[in-house]
Amino acid sequence: MDEELLNEFLTESNENLASIEQQLMDLEENPADMDLLDSIFRVVHTVKGSCGFLGLVGLQKTAHAGENLLGKIRSSKFLVDDKIVSLLLECTDGIKALLEGLESEGVEPDLDHSDLIEQLYLAERMVEESSNGSKAKSLESVEEVEQNLDWLGDVDESVLTALKDAGLLTAEQMIRAGFATLRNMDALSPADALKVLGVAKQHLKRQASSPDVEHQPQDKTEAEVTEPQAKKEDNVEKAKATPPEIPATPAPIPPAKKATAAVKKVVKSDHKQRPKSAGSIRVDIELLDSLMNQVGELVLTRNRLMQMMASSGNMTYVRVSRDVDHITEQLQAQLLRTRMQPIQSVWSNIPRIVRDMGKQLNKKITVVMEGEETELDRTILNALKDPLTHIIRNSCDHGIEMPDERRNVGKPAEGTLKLSAAQESGFIVILIEDDGAGIDAARVKTKAVTMGVLTEEQAAIISDKAVLQLIFHAGLSTAQTVSNLSGRGVGMDVVRTEIEKVGGSVDISSERGQGTTLRIRIPLTLAIISAMIIGCEGHRFAIPQMSVRELLNAPRDSSEWRLIGGQPFYRLRGKLLPVMRLKEVLEFTKDVINEGSIVVVDIGDRTYGVLVDEIFGAEEIVVKPLGVHFQQTRFYGGCSILGDGVVIPIFDCNELASLMKLSQEAEALQHLEEEEEISMHELQHTLVFAEGGQRFAIPMALIERLECFPEKNIEQAGSSEVLQYRDDVIAVLRWSSLIDVHRDIEADESVYGLILSDGYKYLCLQVEEVIDILEIPLDIKMASDNPLFLGTSVIEGIATEVVDVFEVVKKVDADWFSRNKSTASQEEEISPTILFVEDATFFRNLVIPVLDALGYESWVAKDGLEACSILENKTPDLILTDLEMPNMDGYALVDWVKGRPELSDMPVVALTATPIDEIPLERQRKFRDVMIKFDRQTLNEGLERIMGEIKKNAPVRVEGEVISSAVTEGA
């Protein structure tokens, strides 16, 4: 036996065992699924067989006991219950523990599983007894074939055939043939070969001790076995050294020890390495951490080098430093990747937790997972493990109701726990949703008041959403009874602390009777974060981008300033934003003028503004810890070193908020209610930029990133200009040339680039100056003759041309949107039709080209009423509708459609600007799907999916002309 074999064994076993837990749970669901049982049996059997050959006694014992039980279940067609499944799960846990030890130590760990083995044995007896009398009968036809080799136990048919074809009919012959021969047989994987050898070996031993039990097989031919003579001798030698079958007496232990010692020796003499799973190596995480730090330093040094080289004016230097730049970037990116692991690695044990919880609580819970492949930094993953487990336990325990209760309120008896993970611009968002009872905000409030967390006055004005966040407050638990699983009132605060420790945030939303959703937002990696660099009294500070929602320009004379109880507020879209004057809280000065820029910080349960003097822009920074002196000043989350070598403190926005007095905020909340709210209708993020003294607005929908780089980064490629962006070269379009403004730009001058993307393609739109990103209603006051513009809107009192992104993109790539139209056959098909109901011209213009590009024919209605009148005459394949509309809104429309028998099957999809989780679930359910307006990708995919679903029963379509004449006219 050699290291290679051990490696093979570990790899195979780990792969096999990875799926077994799930399979066992599936078996619990469908105990009659014989295929599933077979497959589980095979895994355990393979492990047992192989370790017999490798001399791994403890492992073999455990696996053997499991195999016996499984074998008995299989042969007697016993229907497993949850107790047996629990036992089998324990058995696989035991096997895994042994394998882990083996992998890390190189020798079998000393673990005592005798209790488990005893239990497995008892279960086996139980199964046997219950099936006595109804002995399973095997299929007659196969009987004969199987006869000769059935001592091999469960191996694939193909393996049996191959062995027979090779004339290897007895255990002796197989051992004589040796591993090499078996392994070279096409039908046998190395693991099969191992298994066959192991079993053969045991079989011989058994025959030796009780020769009368097994009949001697007929010797037919030995012809094929002559070739690899030398090798097989060798193997037989080795096979002899392996221990015999393990009758549970102390007798065979000495040989077993010898064998393990042999394993160790081989390992030591061959290489210094321990056996590992193939294809990857283990690296100490500390090594990676220190590499990461060094690369961080390299990035900083690189920045300095770049500055020096650029100022030297020597082109050779500049070129070399550019190479350094590029390599550093790649090095950094790749090193980050080495630390990434799929979130699956922490999720994998969740089904098991939920199952065990369900059993204990007598609840039925299914787990649904989405986005398991999402990758995260391993440090973060590890930190997430406990909070996740806690949240899951909470959901099972308190969230999901007992089956009877659920049935009474018309929900399926089985509760669902849904986990999903997705990447969202540098962050991972993890949602944990249950469809349980939800949280009673009123109860939380009462509790909070009793516990003194909230005063009566605060309780009177606090919003339900804010109340729910109190769940994370230490000492609050609304569970009526304290179970041994969760609900001791400690926990959610720990969950929050743990998540915040890795730079994440968590918030909770819940609807009575509908369920609870926890939303965890965490950075992809800890080591490097994107931060907004701000200035205050000549000091620079970094605010993690994660917490920054938007930036506002707040001049002294702005009419939006309010002073309530000494606390400044800034009125932002009808809401009062409490503003922390950084100068004041950092005690730079007492007399602060309300003037400067406001960084709007969102920390989950609340939003506040930080008034600063200056905003320098976003930068990727390497986070370094602060020393022992800053333990009390918790609003510093760490520090970093900027490109110029200066240390910069990083704020921890959660802690920073505590510098602002809460009572004032609560007091102010009261006033907030008094402020009349402007309609939040159709607000959208819009970027305003200037070129040649004129202002332009462009919706953020297609803008992936804002870049600022030196003009000289734009390179000439043929007749067009390009920019290196990430690992790609993307086309650069100059806004100035599109609107015929001429401007000379120095090579060293910094220019702004809006990186436009639809997920596959990128384009850089170079503009002169970025003014602001605003969340505003885009009311187009005046249509434009220029196809580049949708029209003119008034933004902050200034007439601003609203750019039609689609026209701009077409300038560069006329086929930008047509990547989905590739097959010729598609042209022959009649294009599916969509009735698109949208009141805002702007969105019509945004969505229609997408629909066109996807090959849909679109009919357009301005509101629900218009849609109804179209539907009375014609039937589209799908209705895509806005929710908020004058005359007749999306909800009324869908009700109308559902009320028409001929349209009852019509899929109606909502397209909305409101975050989906703010729409009540019962309203969402009216629609086939609810999609977010700004997300082109989701729209594309969602429509394609729904169209695919309805294509099967394609309705008879009335031919209709496109009613889209009103496209560019004012809303």
Partner 1 sequence: MNALVHVKNKPSRSDLELLTCRVGEQWIGLHVKQVREVVTGHVRTVMPLAPSSVMGLINLRGRVLTELDVRKVVGLPAREPDASFHVAIIESSSGEDFGLAVDDVGEVMLMDRDYYESTPSSLDPVWRQVSEGVLKQDNRVLVLMNVDRFIALTIPSLEGNVQNPAAVH
CB of 589 to partner 1, least distance (A): 10
Query: Which is closer to partner 1, CB of 616 or CB of 636?
Result: 636
CB of 540 to partner 1, least distance (A): 8
Query: Which is closer to partner 1, CB of 169 or CB of 585?
Result: 585
CB of 632 to partner 1, least distance (A): 4
CB–CB of 58/94 below 8 Å? no
Torsion of CA 504, 505, 511, 515, to 10 degrees: 20
Query: Which is closer to partner 1, CB of 297 or CB of 677?
Result: 297
State the number of CA atoms in the 13 A half-sphere of 746 facing the CB: 3
CB of 649 to partner 1, least distance (A): 6
The whole-angstrom separation of Cα 257 and Cα 270 is: 20
Query: Which is closer to partner 1, CB of 412 or CB of 645?
Result: 645
CB of 631 to partner 1, least distance (A): 7
Containing 215, the helix (H) or strand (E) segment is none
CB of 596 to partner 1, least distance (A): 17
CB–CB of 640/624 below 8 Å? yes
CB–CB of 738/732 below 8 Å? no
Query: Which is closer to partner 1, CB of 223 or CB of 628?
Result: 628
CB of 532 to partner 1, least distance (A): 17
Query: Which is closer to partner 1, CB of 568 or CB of 649?
Result: 649
CB of 624 to partner 1, least distance (A): 5
CB of 612 to partner 1, least distance (A): 13
Interface residues toward partner 1, by CB under 8 A: 297, 300-301, 537-539, 586-588, 624, 626-633, 635-636, 639, 641, 645-649
CB of 647 to partner 1, least distance (A): 4
CB of 536 to partner 1, least distance (A): 9
Query: Which is closer to partner 1, CB of 629 or CB of 925?
Result: 629
| Residue 59 structure tokens | 């492992």
CB of 325 to partner 1, least distance (A): 18
CA nearest to 430, candidates 353, 351, 376: 376
Query: Which is closer to partner 1, CB of 632 or CB of 953?
Result: 632
Q: What one-letter code names the amino acid at 276?
A: K
Query: Which is closer to partner 1, CB of 481 or CB of 631?
Result: 631
User: Taking the CB of residue 837, how many other CB atoms lie within 10 A of it?
Assistant: 31
| Residue 789 structure tokens | 């513009």
- Region of 167 (left: φ > 0; alpha: ψ -120 to 50; beta: rest) is left
By residue count, the chain amounts to 971
Query: Which is closer to partner 1, CB of 538 or CB of 901?
Result: 538
CA nearest to 336, candidates 299, 305, 371: 299
CA nearest to 595, candidates 552, 638, 565, 645: 552
The whole-angstrom separation of Cα 915 and Cα 913 is: 6
Query: Which is closer to partner 1, CB of 608 or CB of 651?
Result: 651
Coil, strand or helix at 58: helix
Radius of gyration of the chain (CA): 34
CB of 627 to partner 1, least distance (A): 4
The whole-angstrom separation of Cα 825 and Cα 834 is: 20
The whole-angstrom separation of Cα 762 and Cα 621 is: 25
| Residue 196 structure tokens | 């066959």
The whole-angstrom separation of Cα 599 and Cα 611 is: 7
Query: Which is closer to partner 1, CB of 657 or CB of 698?
Result: 657
Residue that has been written with the tokens 């191959």 in this structure: 162
CB-based burial of residue 141 (10 Å sphere; 0-12 exposed, 13-18 middle, 19+ buried)? exposed
Starting at the earlier edge strand, list the strands of the sheet with 561-564: 548-554, 596-602, 607-612, 575-581, 567-572, 561-564
**Which residues, other chains included, contact 487 with Cβ-Cβ below 8 Å and sequence gap of 6+?**
394, 397, 398, 477, 479, 481
CA nearest to 860, candidates 966, 762, 764: 966
The whole-angstrom separation of Cα 305 and Cα 411 is: 64
The whole-angstrom separation of Cα 855 and Cα 878 is: 14
Query: Which is closer to partner 1, CB of 556 or CB of 629?
Result: 629
Query: Which is closer to partner 1, CB of 641 or CB of 865?
Result: 641
Residue that has been written with the tokens 């099957």 in this structure: 905
Query: Which is closer to partner 1, CB of 208 or CB of 628?
Result: 628
Coil, strand or helix at 664: helix
The whole-angstrom separation of Cα 753 and Cα 755 is: 6
**Which residues, other chains included, contact 520 with Cβ-Cβ below 8 Å and sequence gap of 6+?**
384, 387, 429, 430, 431, 432, 499, 504, 505, 506
CB of 294 to partner 1, least distance (A): 9
Query: Which is closer to partner 1, CB of 587 or CB of 918?
Result: 587
CB of 626 to partner 1, least distance (A): 8
CB of 283 to partner 1, least distance (A): 23
Query: Which is closer to partner 1, CB of 152 or CB of 580?
Result: 580
Query: Which is closer to partner 1, CB of 465 or CB of 539?
Result: 539
Phi, psi values for residue 789, rounded to 5°: -115, 145
CB of 328 to partner 1, least distance (A): 14
Coil, strand or helix at 288: helix
Q: What one-letter code names the amino acid at 556?
A: R
The whole-angstrom separation of Cα 92 and Cα 65 is: 11
Torsion of CA 577, 578, 581, 587, to 10 degrees: -160
The whole-angstrom separation of Cα 962 and Cα 860 is: 8
| Residue 629 structure tokens | 């002196």
CB of 535 to partner 1, least distance (A): 13
